[in-house]
Amino acid sequence: MKKKSKSRIKHIISYVFQLRTWSDWNRIKSYFLYITQMAKHLFVIPTSVENSIAFEKAMERHNLTEKQLKKQVNDLNRLFAYMLCASCGVLFYLVYQFMYGTVMGILLSFIVWMISVVLAFRYSYWSFVIRKRSLDCSLNDWFQNCILGKNK
């Protein structure tokens, strides 16, 4: 049997228009795989038996007492509440800018709103880590406990 080959026109077109090379397909594919692996790594719950031991060692290394940790948790919760109220206020201002403002005002309000939400999340997460007494809490743990209210 004779082996079927590409038609000459297909061969010429694929030689002239090298879309894979032009779009740098291999690099795009490797970036996508890297991002998916990092996302999987971010949401995987690590299994470690020495969790509480590591937390206790960190407490000893930084000379922290239980009283100081409780005060820190209270301070972080207060900062979380302040940042949450600030983000709500900025969100209302963002809606106002969306109705009556300019595009630049909307963009700036959105950026300030995102910063305040990120700070509120950071304070809530730090408070959760101290309350849990674990140094390797994942975002999934935080989401399950703080947002959904499920205690494990």
pLDDT tens track for 26-41: 888 888 898 888 888 7
pTM tops 0.95:
no
Mean residue pLDDT across the chain: 84
> How does pLDDT run across 87-136, given as a tens digit for each residue?
999 999 999 999 998 899 999 999 999 999 999 999 999 999 888 888 87
Half-sphere exposure of 43 (CA within 13 A, CB side): 8
Q: Which residue has the higher pLDDT, 41 or 1?
A: 41
Half-sphere exposure of 149 (CA within 13 A, CB side): 0
Distances (CA, A) of 80 to 16, 24, 145: 58, 44, 16
Predicted confidence at residue 26, as pLDDT, reads 83
Residue 120's closest CA among 84, 85, 70? 84
| Mean pLDDT along residues 3-22 | 74
